Structure 1
């Protein structure tokens, strides 16, 4: 099975994206299991001599052995769980049990969080065959959501930094990897008619069978939107851009001033 890691700033549509690709019976991607955070945290502690693991001629060899065991454990865990769950997603049917999975993985914005330094590098090293997908969205829309949700902040400067610290490492990762290992998906395109061609590129990128499930899901969602993951946008406006209705001109200018180079890189005016 090919490992797949999905990253993207919070509120960028990565949950919707993960739900969509999980419609394909050969794909099994959990939503923020965060298993790799565990491995990264342990690996970080093993790299630094401590009272529990002091300097020793075999310390580095032991550390590598522990990390390899944890990576093998993740592979085994996913292989065992593949046919026991539909991932808790209401749009997945019983056909997703007893299937031949070719791609497994996890979606988690935190993997690309600059505060979680080293996690992406660890996955690249430990999983040389892994593929990565970056789902991104206009920062003005993301920050509108941050400001509305208590779990983030009502300080716009803090929310801007939150978007940047998830997005900049993801872009840097794409610059580092070849096209056969890294793919970027613009949320606004994925929920539009362009989503059908993106679905075809995804199937080719992941090397799974050219089945219609992802395309069918996108067609269904364009006809009748389904809210995912604590939406703050009215259902009738899901998939659209409505930040101008919620942000002041001063807030919009502040976002554009601080995020401008990245916005330009991602194709936002």
Structure 2
């Protein structure tokens, strides 16, 4: 829907943003052009980055990164800016469900970032995740993932820079697309575009054909998938979801079915899974703090006038600077 806006480009899910940040020390001092070239080639040539799905000229993007500002955020932003330019649009974004875990990282890379959090009934999310051909986790991990996302919305989002966070529910968006897309556009500082209500017209361009699990993006916006957890989850899974997620579901207006409480043994399994995930997060954060002590460069992107001001860098003279990169 956002990609259908005439001024905003949202690519298929990329896989280089967080990975590049986590490997930033390996790229060394980006003030050196050769180091920027190594970074660019890592993004462009690495299959896991999914750069090939963007339809861009790898050599040209590499050249732009080498010639661009010497920061990691600038290099990564250049890739997505090139995607936006390919679609003749001035603004770009990126999307991944796991980004809520890395808002601090994204703000280091893009200090003027705006965050849009789309929330869906956790039971439908668990049901959908279980059906994904690439998902290898358990139902306990799926429940954990939704709980973590909601806990971020309730406790993490208020700590973001003022005015940088927007939240909406999937069920409301599909029931009344125009009303909720108008609010989204207001948050983004853009005029509403009616084309956003017809995302299927762009699905052939914006959704890679091999992502068969996104086949419904080729159809009209519908509410038919709302509440399908009732058929897609078994009684034990419904009990697990509502026992663990009950207060979170009700906070966001989702009515509980009254399923019985999950048996103790399954709750213990869930708690072990949640504890393991929490420990992994704590370790990741602690390791990242150590890495920050060794960074050779500032990270923030310097591709727009706003980013340059936030970086404290003098504005170039007589050079056009994009206002909304």
Fold shared by both chains (TM-score > 0.5): yes
Q: Give the aligned partner of residue 114 of structure 2.
A: 131
* Shift, 1:202, TM fit: 1.2
In structure 1, list runs of 5 or more residues that go unmatched.
Answer: 1-19, 47-51, 54-58, 85-96, 114-118, 222-226
User: Given that residues 4 and 202 in structure 2 are in contact (C-alpha distance below 8 angstroms), is that contact kept between their aligned partners in structure 1?
Assistant: no
The alignment yields a C-alpha RMSD, in angstroms, of: 3.7
2:109 maps to 1:109 = no
TM-score (norm 2): 0.54
Shift of 1:138: 0.7
Alpha-carbon contact 2:72-2:109 (below 8 Å) kept = no
Which residue in the other structure is 2:12 paired with? 31
Match of 2:3 in 1: 22
What's the secondary structure of 2:145's corresponding residue? helix
Could you tell me the TM-score, scaled by structure 1's length?
A: 0.65
Q: Does 1:262 align with 2:245?
A: no
Aligned equivalents of 2:192, 2:129: Cα separation in 1? 37
Aligned twin of 2:239: 253
The answer for the alignment partner of 1:82 in structure 2 is 84
Q: Which has the higher contact order (CA 8 A, sep 6+)?
A: 1
- Aligned twin of 1:148: 131
Return the index of the structure with the highest Cα Rg.
2
| SS of structure 1 residue aligned to 2:116 | strand
Corresponding position of 1:204 = 186
Task: State how 1:224-243 maps to structure 2 within 5 Å.
Answer: 230=213, 238-243=224-229
Corresponding residue for residue 72 of structure 2: 70
Structure 1 259/219 Cα, relative in aligned 2: closer, same or farther at 3 Å? farther
SS in 1 for 2:190: coil
Aligned length: 210
Query: How far apart are residue 146 of structure 1 and its match?
Result: 2.5
Q: 1:32 to 1:267 in 2, by over 3 A?
A: same
The answer on whether the counterparts of 1:130 and 1:181 sit within 8 Å (CA) in structure 2 is yes
The equivalent position to 2:196 in structure 1, one of 214, 219, 230, is 214
What's the CA shift string for 1:21-76, capped at 9, x where partnerless? 11111001122113321333124x58xxxxx98xxxxx9x99xx999611111222
Q: Which residue of 2 aligns with 1:94?
A: none
* Structure having the larger proportion of residues in helix: 2
Q: Distance in 2 between matches of 1:120 and 1:191?
A: 26
Q: Stretches of 4+ moved more than 4 A in 1?
A: 65-68, 216-221
